[in-house]
Chains A and B, each alone.
Chain A
Amino acid sequence: MADDKEIRKFIKSGAPDVGDSGRFMKDLERQIDLLPVPASLAGRGKERCGDEAAAILAMAKSRKLQNGVMSAAIAVVAVAVFAVVFVILQTIPHFEEFIRTYSVYVMSGFSVVVVCSVLLSLRHISI
């Protein structure tokens, strides 16, 4: 009984010959040249998307860097302010007593100063 391989061999050996591919392709190209190039084959769509994506990534990277620098600057300022306060605390006895008595208010005021600094710095960030 004929098996699968023999069936395949029989069909392939009897398949029609499709020569003259050159003529066929020439005709097809001639017809394609008469048609407008679809956007999906124009190459512009992908290039434009690629350029736009690159621009967005570059901007995001720049913003990230800016924000990082700003955050570092604020942290340095906060540490500096804290250091100054600490030095004053150590050198001025009455001040030290004042700080100890009103520590909650001092810490709250310090936090307000830091938050205000951050918020003010955000106002200058424009998109």
Chain B
Amino acid sequence: MDKEQFIRTVAQEQESLRRFLRVLCGGDSFRADDIAQEALLKAYLSFEKFQGRAKFSTWLFRIAYNCWYDSARTSSAREVVSLDEVGSDRPDDSADAAAGFQRQDLRLAVSALSEAERIVVLLFYMEDKTVKDIEAITGMPSGTVRSHLSRARKHLREYLDRLGYGRP
């Protein structure tokens, strides 16, 4: 792969990556795009580390996940970083946050999950990643991924049933 091919491939993957990061960042598109850009530049500079054993998109997601994780742990002053506050019903101060989600239901639903469950659910249902992909992205063993997925499904089902989702 050369530089132009890298850019073309990244152009195909960036939307999915940014969407995932945007949800993790509680709808803050500026922060999500910052992290996405950081991750893609890291991927560009360390391309020799991509050995081709996993899919390219999985490798990009792994870098992006690590960048988000580092950012979330070091930036404790920001409101959106506080994962508990993501779960609150307070109006978000970020001008972008309301538009960040098509539906506030989703935001509230995923915010009720634990951090690990949230990440697994977003990768599995929103980005259509397999358990093996999620294992490679997050570093969690596949048994742990399945366990989080199972618990998250249970919580989401209860939430959707309360909303009356899917009922005619």
Give CA–CA (A35, B40) in the complex, Å. 13
Nearest CB in chain B to that of A43: its residue: B2
Q: Are B125 and A8 in contact (CB under 8 A)?
A: yes
Q: Are B48 and A40 in contact (CB under 8 A)?
A: yes
> Would you call B6 an interface residue if the criterion is a C-beta within 8 Å of the partner chain's C-beta atoms?
yes
Give CA–CA (A44, B143) in the complex, Å. 42
Give CA–CA (A15, B29) in the complex, Å. 13
What class of interface size applies to chain B in its complex with A? 35 or more
**CB within 8 A of B102: which of A13, A25, A32, A40?**
A13
Query: Shortest beta-carbon distance, A61 to chain B, in Å?
Result: 30
Give CA–CA (A41, B121) in the complex, Å. 34
> Would you call A105 an interface residue if the criterion is a C-beta within 8 Å of the partner chain's C-beta atoms?
no
Nearest CB in chain B to that of A25: its residue: B11
Instruction: Report if A32-B44 is in contact (Cβ < 8 Å); known contacts: A14-B107, A21-B11, A25-B11.
Output: yes
Chain B residues within 8 Å of A, Cβ to Cβ: 1-3, 6-7, 10-11, 14-15, 18-19, 22-23, 27, 29, 33, 36-37, 40-41, 44-48, 99-103, 105-107, 109-110, 121-122, 125-126, 153, 156-157, 160-161, 165-166
Closest A-B pairs by Cβ, 6 of them: A14-B106, A40-B48, A2-B160, A14-B103, A11-B125, A18-B18
